[in-house]
């Protein structure tokens, strides 16, 4: 049976780069934001790429589970790149045997990046509160679980990624440190709106410095998300 690696993140948190990294593992298939179609349909949000996503991506949990099972039949591992805010009030039974990795990033960095595409950001949009709630929920599930601060991983991927793999019970593969530039066949339909920078990349970049305080409306979102970030950070995997 294929090993399921269920990644939970917020947006603008190198989650796509990490997905590209895992896609280089021999025998590993990836699934880009499995619940995004259902999330857009439920919320009625007019996000960039909404129509294409609703047409091409699963729109219900049963279809997501079916797609995961089909991927698992054809591979040794399946990496699910999921967004925490997409999983609110959703069932976990289709992923309960997973190894879980939660990716976190300081909310000011997330908000600064997110608002370049969607200016009217809320704390709900960046997913840290949801990640903290879901971290507590998956505590009852049997799989391995770790939290990784993205910037700590980016400080030295050649040393930190092997330790992450070990913590998840996975073999290390040097191929994870690089990938070809450009769009990928497994990108979600929204990629052209969000993945411009990562499509230019062939590997992990250096972590960015914490920016100065943002405009007042955006800094209020940062302040609202900080307690959840700090709770997650205090439970993170330490290198």
Span of 87-96, 139-148, 195-204 with lowest mean pLDDT: 87-96
What's the whole-model pTM score? Answer: 0.94
Phi, psi of 146 (to 5 degrees): -140, 155
Query: What contacts 201, CB < 8 A, 6 or more positions away?
Result: 17, 20, 179, 181
Segment 40-79, tens digit of pLDDT: 999 888 888 999 999 999 999 889 989 999 999 999 999 9
The fourth-level CATH superfamily of domain 3-234 is P-loop containing nucleotide triphosphate hydrolases (3.40.50.300)
């Amino acid at each position: 049976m294929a090993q399921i690696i269920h990644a939970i993140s917020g947006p603008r948190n190198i989650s796509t780069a990490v997905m590209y990294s895992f896609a280089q593992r021999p025998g590993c298939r990836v699934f880009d934001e499995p619940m995004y179609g259902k999330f857009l349909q439920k919320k009625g949000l007019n996000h960039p790429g909404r129509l294409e996503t609703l047409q091409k991506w699963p729109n219900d949990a049963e279809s997501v589970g079916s797609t995961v099972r089909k991927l698992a039949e054809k591979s040794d591992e399946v990496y699910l790149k999921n967004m925490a805010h997409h999983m609110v009030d959703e069932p976990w039974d289709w992923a309960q045997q997973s190894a879980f990795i939660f990716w976190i990033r300081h909310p000011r960095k997330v908000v600064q990046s997110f608002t370049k595409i969607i200016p009217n950001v809320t704390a709900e949009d960046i997913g840290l509160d949801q990640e903290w709630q879901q971290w507590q929920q998956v505590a009852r599930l049997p799989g391995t679980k770790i939290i990784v601060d993205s910037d700590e991983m980016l400080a030295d991927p050649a040393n930190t990624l092997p330790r992450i793999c070990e913590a998840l019970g996975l073999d290390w593969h040097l191929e994870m440190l690089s990938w070809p530039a450009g769009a990928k066949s497994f990108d979600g339909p929204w990629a052209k709106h969000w993945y411009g920078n990562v499509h230019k990349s062939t590997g992990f970049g250096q972590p960015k410095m914490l920016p100065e305080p943002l405009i007042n409306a955006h800094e209020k979102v940062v302040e609202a998300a900080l307690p959840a970030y700090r709770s997650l950070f205090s439970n993170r995997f330490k290198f």
